[in-house]
């Protein structure tokens, strides 16, 4: 098949198909670009592709077009079109924050968002913002920790990026502070075990409000994506920008905490990169290596006794 009809039904099917394959922000970015393509063109063929590629400047736009090929392959639709490459821009990894900067961010944040930042940084090798938003009291194995409060805790991170689950450790001081917060929130059951849904509440639009604005049904996975995005934006504007950035005089991306945690564990705690891969939930070790930045001072110290000519 040399051309593909770009119908509304096809567009909706692609959106549903990519829900369990990509992160929330990736879904939204590609969905918006595909919507613009489907609204402007009726068919996709070589002539149409040439017109589209004149306006393609970014790799994510090409990736969105590639998704059409992938969808057709997965669904036995006999269509495939060669998508020309675009000039790849240099990857910009978030800035690594120092332990001192992170401590100042925690102190400058209003309650309970200092605790939120501690959880993002200290759970395993760091959490994604979507994971902390969805984190519930039931995701933490309280019963084991309550038997031995001198040990670390364990939490299960459900439906992370790529819909993967993973298990991470929680430092014992953070476990105690979370338990104290649970008592403040009156979420202990008759056995003194915290239970319930989301640990932290974030401002921004509710699912009901988003549903009214977008017309999405409660079962539509896009509703969850829009909900996470609304909560993330609220946290970014009301906590990071208003408090944390002023405290350390630096622009912050929340994902910097995850990069910083991986670097901290690798550099200061000597955690092997293969173990970090498991904690971070990465499929590829190459991705984990991007997260860890080697401190030049450590390299220099290792070379201080080497010979010279």
Q: How far apart, in whole angstroms, are the C-alpha atoms of residue 243 and residue 235?
A: 11
The answer for residues whose C-beta is within 8 angstroms of residue 137's C-beta and 6 or more apart is 182, 187, 194, 195, 196, 197, 199
Query: Do both 32 and 120 map to the same domain?
Result: no
Question: Which of 37-46, 89-98, 139-148, 179-188 has the weakest average pLDDT?
Answer: 89-98
Domain limits at 174?
99-291
**Is the confidence at residue 128, as pLDDT, over 60?**
yes
- Read off the CATH number of the domain in which 242 is found: 1.10.443
Query: Do both 19 and 117 map to the same domain?
Result: no
Query: Do both 175 and 226 map to the same domain?
Result: yes
Query: Do both 70 and 106 map to the same domain?
Result: no
Of the candidates 133, 125, 46, 36, the one whose C-alpha atom is nearest the C-alpha of residue 84 is: 46
What one-character DSSP code corresponds to residue 236? I
The answer for residues whose C-beta is within 8 angstroms of residue 268's C-beta and 6 or more apart is none
112 preceded by cis ω (within 30°)? Answer: yes
Q: How far apart, in whole angstroms, are the C-alpha atoms of residue 295 and residue 165?
A: 31
**Is the confidence at residue 20, as pLDDT, over 80?**
no
Confidence category of residue 175, pLDDT binned at 50, 70, 90: very high
Average pLDDT, the chain: 84
Question: Which of 144-148, 287-291, 295-299 has the weakest average pLDDT?
Answer: 295-299
Domain assignment present for 62 = yes
Query: Do both 67 and 103 map to the same domain?
Result: no
Question: Which of 59-63, 135-139, 209-213, 271-275 has the weakest average pLDDT?
Answer: 271-275
Domain count of the chain? Answer: 2
Query: Do both 162 and 204 map to the same domain?
Result: yes
Q: How far apart, in whole angstroms, are the C-alpha atoms of residue 27 and residue 19?
A: 7
Confidence category of residue 157, pLDDT binned at 50, 70, 90: confident
Domain assignment present for 82 = no
The most confident of the ranges 94-103, 161-170, 270-279 is 94-103
pLDDT by residue (tens digit) across 89-116?
Answer: 555 556 788 889 999 999 999 999 999 9
pLDDT at 94: 60
């Amino acid at each position: 098949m040399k051309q593909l009809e770009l119908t509304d039904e096809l567009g909706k099917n692609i959106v549903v198909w990519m829900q369990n394959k990509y992160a929330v922000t990736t879904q939204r970015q590609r969905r918006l670009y595909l919507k613009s393509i489907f609204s402007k063109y009726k068919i996709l063929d070589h002539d149409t592709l040439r017109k589209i590629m004149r306006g393609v400047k970014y790799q994510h736009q090409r990736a969105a077009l590639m998704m059409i090929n992938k969808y057709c392959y997965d669904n036995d639709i006999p269509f495939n079109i060669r998508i020309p490459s675009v000039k790849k821009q240099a990857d910009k990894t978030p800035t690594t924050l120092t332990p001192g900067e992170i401590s100042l961010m925690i102190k400058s944040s209003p309650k309970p968002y200092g605790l939120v930042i501690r959880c993002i940084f200290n759970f395993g090798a760091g959490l994604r913002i979507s994971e902390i938003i969805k984190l519930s009291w039931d995701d933490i194995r309280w019963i084991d920790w309550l038997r031995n409060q001198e040990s670390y805790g364990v939490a299960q991170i459900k439906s992370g990026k790529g819909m993967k689950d993973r298990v991470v450790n929680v430092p014992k001081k953070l476990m105690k502070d979370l338990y104290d917060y649970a008592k403040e929130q009156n979420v202990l059951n008759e056995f003194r075990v915290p239970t319930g849904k989301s640990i932290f509440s974030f401002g921004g639009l509710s699912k009901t409000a988003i549903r009214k604005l977008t017309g999405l049904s409660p079962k539509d996975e896009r509703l969850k994506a829009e909900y996470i995005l609304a909560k993330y934006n609220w946290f970014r504007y009301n906590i990071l920008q208003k408090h944390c950035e002023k405290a350390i005089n630096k622009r912050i991306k929340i994902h910097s905490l995850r990069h910083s945690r991986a670097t901290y564990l690798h550099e200061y705690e000597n955690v092997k990169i293969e173990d970090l891969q498991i904690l971070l939930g990465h499929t590829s070790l190459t991705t984990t290596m991007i997260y860890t930045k080697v401190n030049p001072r450590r390299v220099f110290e290792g070379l201080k006794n080497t010979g010279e000519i």
